[in-house]
Structure 1
Amino acid sequence: MSYELRDHTADVAVEATADTLAALFAAVAEGLTAASAQSVPATPGDRFEVEVAAESREALLFDYLDRLIYERDVRLVLPADHRCTVAEPSETDRTDESDDPDAWRLAASARGVPLDAVAAREIKAVTYSEMALERRGDGWRAYVVFDV
């Protein structure tokens, strides 16, 4: 899994590759962390969990990153050290009648580094502008633009 920050007019973009879809989501989230702060201290931070469901892979990635930005603002932490699992739509994944059997699902966790411990720049939002999420050979590639 890897990511690279890319210059983008008035914004910042993350391009990531990984062997699995879950690792790709984690790599893009690590790219979001890197775009937010040049370095992340190893200071302890409490892990927190997030769960997201969406109608497509692209919407799931967008909603996941949007949720990380929300958690940053509410918890006053920089999400780091991301771990993800991604589940495709399936009838067997349904836990109760209110769950959508056609939804993509993500369960993730991140270490919350207190914002006062980092020199962070504000990432305002994730955008659909130029978003790409695709299978390439044996792996996956994503490109995501963030509004700064």
Structure 2
Amino acid sequence: MSYELREHTADVAVEATGKTIDAVFGAVADGLAAAMYDDPPEEGDRFELTRTAESREALLFDYLDELIYQRDVRGVLPVGNEATVRETSEGWTVEASARGVPLSLITAREVKAVTYSEMQLERTDGGWRAYVVFDV
């Protein structure tokens, strides 16, 4: 699983790949964290979250939005992201965890929101690819 930060006009984008949809969700989330801070310390406790949405793309949006919410409410930078994605009778669900690095330990750049602008989530020959633009 890997990600790259991409310049995008006044915003920042994350392009991520992974062998599974689980891996690509985690990689995009790690890319979001990297957009806010380059080299987080090892401090911080893991926390869990679950989100459900009607489609995979909506789920990716809601998952990343929840990580930004957790940053704002808990005062942590979510790093070391792990995700399990599955289709359910209600749509799509992600059960995820992250290590929350206290923002009091770092000076993070602000990412305001995830956007649907140019969002892509697709199966490839090698696994999965995602492209997500964040408003900074």
- CA distance in structure 1 between the aligned counterparts of 2:9 and 2:80, rounded to whole angstroms: 28
- Which entry has the higher C-alpha Rg, 1 or 2? 1
Following superposition, the deviation at residue 138 of structure 1 comes to: 3.1
Kept in 2, the 8 Å contact 1:4–1:16? The answer is yes
Q: Kindly, what percent of the aligned residue pairs are identical?
A: 67
The reply to whether residue 144 of structure 1 matches residue 128 of structure 2 is no
Q: How far does the alpha carbon of each residue in 1:32-88 deviate from its partner, in whole angstroms, 9 at most, with x for none? A: 00001121112x211111100000000000000000000000000000001110011
Counterpart mapping for 1:83-102 below 5 A:
83-89=82-88, 101-102=89-90
1:21 alignment partner AA = I
Q: Which residue of 2 aligns with 1:9?
A: 9
Kept in 2, the 8 Å contact 1:126–1:147? The answer is yes
Kept in 2, the 8 Å contact 1:132–1:143? The answer is yes
Kept in 2, the 8 Å contact 1:20–1:140? The answer is yes
Following superposition, the deviation at residue 132 of structure 1 comes to: 0.4
Gaps of 5+ in 1: 90-100
TM-score norm. by structure 1 comes to 0.90
Structure 1 residue ranges (4+ consecutive) displaced by more than 2 angstroms after TM superposition: none
Q: Which residue of 2 aligns with 1:108?
A: 96
Gaps of 5+ in 2: none
Q: How many residues align?
A: 136
TM-score norm. by structure 2 comes to 0.98
Residue aligned with 1:128, SS: coil
Kept in 1, the 8 Å contact 2:52–2:90? The answer is no
